[in-house]
C-alpha cells in the first residue's frame, strides 16, 4: 500500500542535460509525464472574463528541490493559445522565479476573450512543460444557459488515492472545480491515515508534521506530484479556499488545536503556511496573482448574470472555538451564542452581505468551508457519538445540540446572515460546503425549532471527502449499516436536513441553470485502490425562488 515514489534527485540528475536539447510539449492528459524541469504540472485558477491565473513550478537544477532554498533565479516564458499546437498565441510573457518563492511561477494571463477555452504552457531553457487547458468566465453582462462545476474537499494523501480527481478529469463539461478546503493535511506519517488501522496508503513528505515554511512547501510539492491531481489541474481551472488543515487542525485567528507550544509561534506558522499556499496555488491571494501581496482570500467570481460565487475564509478571522460542551442558551461568557464572537470577522461579514444583496447575478453561490445548517443531535450510544465526532467534530458525547467548529459554534453570525436574507427578500442563495467528510442537502431555516412552519431562507449542499475518514472508517462498520441509524436519527431531529450520507468518499458536480441548481453526488470505491471506480449515488436540487431542496431521480446528462 506504500509504493516508493520515483527518486526525484536521480531523475533530475540523469535527465537534466538532455532536457534542454529539444522542446517537448505534452497534452493535458499527459501532465504527469512532465519533462524534468516541470515535475509538478501546471494549473489555472480564478477565471475572469478576460484573464485567468496560470501556475507551474520549474526545477532548474537537481539541487533546487521544493523547500530547499537552493537554485538560481531564472526566467520562464508563458504562452496562451487558442489551439493545442500554439500556432495562434493570443497572450504571452516572461517572468522570473527563484528560491525566494520556491521556484513557483504564477502569472495573470490577460487580454483573453470571455467564455473561451484556451491552451497554455510554460517554457524554460528551450523546454516546454505540459500543456494545460483552461476556460475564461462568461462576460459580465452575458446570460449563459448553464454552468457546471466540480465540487471537492478534504483530500488526505495518507488516507488513499485521489480517484475522485481522476474521475472529474475524465469529464469534458466543467467550467471550473470548486475546492472547499483541506487541499492538503499537516500530519506526520503514522497520524490520521486510512480508517481505524491508521495505515498510511502514501506517507507524507517531509516525514514530520509541517510547521516551518520548508515543510509546507515540500508538502504542497508532494500533493502536486499526484498524477490524478496534476491531470485535473491541467484540464480545468480551480477556484479554491482553505479550511484548517492547510495550516493546522481546528485553527482560529490566534491558534489551533493541533499547534503546541514547542512548535513555536502560531502566527509565524500560519504566515509560513499562507506563504506556501500563495506560492503553490493558482489563486489571487491578496487580490492579484502576485506572491506576497497580502493574505485576503475571500473574493468573488462572476459568471455572467447567471451566478456569482463568493468564496469565504472562515479560519483567518474567527474567534477561538467555544468550550465544549457549551451552554445551550444565549450567553455572554464566551459560549456559542455570544454576539461578540465571530466566525467571519466584521469586514468579511459586511462583504458577504453585500454579495448576497447584489443583483449582479441570479444565483448567489457561497463557497463555505464549514457547515452553516444548524444540527441538533439526539443522545446516541457513546461509541457512535465518538465515531461521529471523529468524522465531523459535530457531536459532544452528551448530545448537546451544536458543533463548536462550524457555524453552530458562532450562532450570532449565522442568525445575522439568515435574518439579512429574510429581511431583504433575497432568494436563490446556495451554500456549497466541505469539511465534514459526508454528503448533505439541507434547507436553511430562519428558525430551526419551528421548521417547517418557519421559512427556509437558503439551501446548502455539502460534499463528502475525497479521501479523509468518514463514519464507517472510524467505527469499522460495514457500509450502510451503523451509519443508517445515525443518519435517520439526525434527520428526525433536524427536519431541514433532507439528505445525509456518512459512508462514502467521492466528489460532486453542481449544475446551474436559470430554473434550478442541482448537486449530483458521486462515490468512489476503496480509497486504497488506485483504480477505484465511480458511481452516481444521489442528486438534489433547489428550484429558483423556493429556498428548498428536493430529490432528483438522476444526474444531469
What secondary structure letter does DSSP report for 281? S
Cβ(55)–Cβ(106) below 8 Å: yes
What pLDDT score was predicted for residue 337?
A: 81
What pLDDT score was predicted for residue 259?
A: 98
What pLDDT score was predicted for residue 323?
A: 79
Tell me which residues of the chain have a pLDDT lower than 50.
Answer: 1-34, 325-333, 379, 395-399, 401
Q: What structural domains does the chain harbor?
A: 34-136 (2.60.40.380), 137-551 (3.60.21.70)
Rounded to whole angstroms, the Cα distance separating 58 from 38 reads: 5
Cβ(349)–Cβ(410) below 8 Å: no
What pLDDT score was predicted for residue 17?
A: 31
Cβ(196)–Cβ(10) below 8 Å: no
Q: Tell me the C-alpha to C-alpha distance, in Å, between residue 135 and each of 38, 63, 113, 280.
A: 22, 35, 10, 20
Q: What is the largest CA-CA distance in the chain?
A: 72
What pLDDT score was predicted for residue 262?
A: 96
Q: What is the pLDDT of residues 146-171, one digit of tens each?
A: 999 999 999 999 999 999 999 999 99
What pLDDT score was predicted for residue 51?
A: 98
Rounded to whole angstroms, the Cα distance separating 349 from 215 reads: 33
- C-beta atoms surrounding 496 within 10 Å: 22
Cβ(457)–Cβ(152) below 8 Å: no
Amino acid at each position: 500500500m506504500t509504493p516508493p515514489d520515483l527518486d526525484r534527485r536521480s531523475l533530475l540528475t540523469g535527465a537534466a542535460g538532455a532536457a534542454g536539447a529539444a522542446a517537448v510539449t505534452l497534452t493535458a492528459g499527459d501532465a504527469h509525464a512532465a519533462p524534468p524541469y516541470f515535475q509538478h504540472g501546471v494549473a489555472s485558477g480564478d477565471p475572469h472574463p478576460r484573464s485567468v491565473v496560470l501556475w507551474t513550478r520549474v526545477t532548474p537544477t537537481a539541487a533546487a528541490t521544493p523547500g530547499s532554498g537552493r537554485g538560481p533565479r531564472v526566467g520562464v516564458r508563458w504562452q496562451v493559445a487558442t489551439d493545442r499546437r500554439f500556432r495562434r498565441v493570443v497572450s504571452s510573457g516572461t517572468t522570473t522565479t527563484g528560491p525566494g518563492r520556491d521556484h513557483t511561477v504564477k502569472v495573470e494571463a490577460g487580454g483573453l476573450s470571455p467564455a473561451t477555452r484556451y491552451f497554455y504552457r510554460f517554457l524554460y531553457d528551450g523546454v516546454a512543460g505540459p500543456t494545460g487547458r483552461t476556460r475564461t468566465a462568461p462576460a459580465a453582462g452575458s446570460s449563459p444557459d448553464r454552468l457546471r462545476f466540480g465540487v471537492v474537499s478534504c483530500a488526505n494523501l495518507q488516507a488513499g488515492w485521489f480517484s475522485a480527481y481522476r474521475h472529474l478529469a475524465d469529464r469534458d463539461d466543467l467550467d471550473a472545480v470548486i475546492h472547499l478546503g483541506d487541499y492538503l493535511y499537516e500530519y506526520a506519517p503514522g497520524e490520521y491515515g486510512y480508517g481505524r488501522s491508521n495505515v498510511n496508503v502514501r506517507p507524507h513528505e517531509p516525514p514530520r508534521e509541517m510547521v516551518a515554511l520548508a515543510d509546507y512547501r515540500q508538502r504542497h510539492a508532494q500533493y502536486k506530484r499526484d498524477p490524478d491531481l496534476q491531470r485535473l489541474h491541467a484540464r480545468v481551472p480551480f477556484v479554491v479556499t482553505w479550511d484548517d488543515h492547510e495550516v493546522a487542525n481546528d485553527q482560529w485567528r490566534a491558534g489551533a488545536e493541533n499547534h503546541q507550544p514547542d512548535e513555536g509561534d502560531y502566527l509565524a506558522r500560519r504566515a509560513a503556511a499562507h506563504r506556501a499556499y500563495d506560492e503553490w496555488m493558482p489563486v489571487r491571494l491578496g487580490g492579484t496573482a502576485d506572491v506576497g501581496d497580502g493574505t485576503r482570500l475571500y473574493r468573488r467570481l462572476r459568471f455572467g448574470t447567471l451566478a456569482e460565487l463568493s468564496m469565504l475564509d472562515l479560519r483567518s478571522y474567527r474567534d477561538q472555538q467555544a468550550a465544549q460542551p457549551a451552554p445551550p442558551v444565549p450567553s455572554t461568557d464566551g459560549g456559542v451564542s455570544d454576539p461578540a464572537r465571530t466566525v467571519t470577522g466584521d469586514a468579511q461579514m459586511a462583504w458577504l452581505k453585500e454579495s448576497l444583496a447584489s443583483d449582479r447575478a441570479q444565483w448567489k453561490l457561497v463557497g463555505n468551508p464549514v457547515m452553516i445548517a444548524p444540527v441538533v443531535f439526539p443522545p446516541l450510544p457513546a461509541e457512535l457519538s465518538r465515531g461521529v465526532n471523529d468524522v465531523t467534530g459535530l457531536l459532544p458525547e452528551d448530545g448537546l445540540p451544536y458543533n463548536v467548529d462550524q457555524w453552530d459554534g458562532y450562532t450570532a453570525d449565522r442568525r445575522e446572515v439568515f435574518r439579512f436574507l429574510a429581511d431583504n427578500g433575497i432568494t436563490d442563495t446556495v451554500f456549497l460546503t466541505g469539511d465534514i467528510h459526508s454528503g448533505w442537502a439541507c434547507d436553511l431555516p430562519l428558525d430551526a425549532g419551528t421548521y417547517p412552519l418557519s421559512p427556509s431562507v437558503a439551501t446548502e449542499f455539502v460534499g463528502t471527502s475525497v479521501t479523509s475518514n468518514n463514519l464507517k472508517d472510524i467505527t469499522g462498520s460495514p457500509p450502510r449499516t451503523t451509519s443508517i441509524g445515525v443518519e435517520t436519527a439526525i434527520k428526525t431531529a433536524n427536519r431541514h436536513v433532507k439528505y445525509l450520507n456518512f459512508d462514502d468518499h467521492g466528489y460532486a458536480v453542481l449544475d446551474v441553470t436559470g430554473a434550478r441548481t442541482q448537486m449530483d453526488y458521486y462515490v468512489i470505491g476503496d480509497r486504497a485502490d488506485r483504480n477505484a471506480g465511480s458511481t452516481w449515488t444521489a442528486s438534489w436540487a433547489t428550484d429558483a425562488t423556493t429556498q428548498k431542496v428536493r430529490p432528483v431521480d438522476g444526474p444531469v446528462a
